[in-house]
């Protein structure tokens, strides 16, 4: 996933709290100049890579174009975009529009996107979300970061395909891979068949997806 959004929206703050990393987090324009990628563990135990990116802005100064370019490569390679919006900013609607326009210019407009309305603790009185595929949080609240993790888990699951398989107990490596590389929801040992019956979600682009076809229940 890649965190995108207007500068100062709170991307690095969210990134740090989701990944417990120390990225630069300051009340400065363009506090982030290098893309940073770290692991984030979702509530179900599934690990995703999250990339923090440089903030978007309406008129990009030429000196920042190079930094912007490298960040943007990260964006186009993401499977899911988290668009962070500062809901306390009076111009948040214009910011959202600028970010959407830049994403379109980058050829990233077809990547699935969810919106994270941040700074709910200071949200503008006239604030109304412009999209329903969204969550409202304050990055400063630990409880909200937990809610965000569940929200992201649902968003990731929507990119995945459900599987329901019977794996022979000798296939230890495959079972281990289901635990690490998919969202393994439920599994139990079936004594009669000598199999592990497993249900979960897998990315259709993952090699495991093909491998699981022959074990379908």
Interface positions with ligand GTP (CB under 6 A) = 5, 7-13, 25-27, 29-32, 55, 118-119, 121-122, 138-140
Question: Residue 12 interacts with Mg ion (CB under 5 A)?
Answer: yes
* CB closer to Mg ion out of 11 and 83: 11
Q: How far is CA 120 from CA 116, 131, 144, 202, in A?
A: 10, 16, 10, 33
Q: Which is nearer to ligand GTP, 41 or 60 (CB)?
A: 60
Asked if residue 32 binds Mg ion (CB under 5 A), the reply is yes
Nearer to Mg ion, 6 or 201 (CB): 6
Task: Tell me whether residue 182 is exposed, middle or buried, using C-beta atoms within 10 angstroms of its C-beta: 0 to 12, 13 to 18, 19 or more.
Answer: buried
Other C-beta atoms lying within 10 Å of the C-beta of residue 186: 9
State the minimum distance, in angstroms, from the CB of residue 156 to ligand GTP: 22
| Alpha-helical runs (H) found in the chain | 11-19, 65-77, 92-105, 142-157, 172-181, 207-212
Whether 151 and 135 have beta carbons less than 8 Å apart is answered as: yes
To the nearest whole angstrom, how small is the minimum distance from the Cβ of residue 122 to ligand GTP? 5
- In the complex, minimum distance from the CB of residue 137 to ligand GTP, in angstroms, rounded to a whole number: 7
Site residues (CB under 5 A) for Mg ion?
11-12, 31-32
């Amino acid at each position: 996933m890649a965190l995108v959004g207007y500068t100062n929206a709170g991307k690095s703050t969210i990134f740090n709290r989701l990944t417990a990393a120390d990225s630069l987090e300051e009340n400065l324009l363009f506090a982030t100049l290098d893309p940073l990628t770290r692991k984030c563990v979702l509530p179900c135990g599934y690990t995703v890579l999250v990339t923090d990116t440089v903030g978007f802005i309406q008129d990009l100064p030429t000196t920042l174009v190079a930094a912007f370019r490298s960040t943007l490569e990260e964006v186009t390679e993401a499977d899911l975009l988290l668009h962070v919006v500062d809901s306390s900013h009076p111009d948040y609607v214009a910011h959202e529009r600028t970010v959407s326009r830049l994403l379109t210019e980058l050829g990233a407009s077809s990547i699935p996107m969810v919106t994270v309305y941040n700074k709910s603790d200071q949200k503008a009185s006239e604030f109304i979300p412009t999209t329903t595929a969204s969550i409202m949080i304050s990055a400063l609240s630990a409880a909200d970061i937990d809610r965000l993790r569940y929200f992201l888990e649902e968003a990731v699951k929507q990119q995945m395909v459900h599987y329901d398989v019977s794996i022979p107990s000798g296939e230890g490596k495959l079972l281990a891979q289901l635990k690490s590389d998919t969202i393994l929801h439920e599994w139990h040992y079936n004594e009669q068949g000598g199999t592990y019956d497993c249900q979960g979600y897998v990315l259709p682009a993952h090699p495991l997806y093909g491998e699981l076809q022959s074990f379908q229940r």
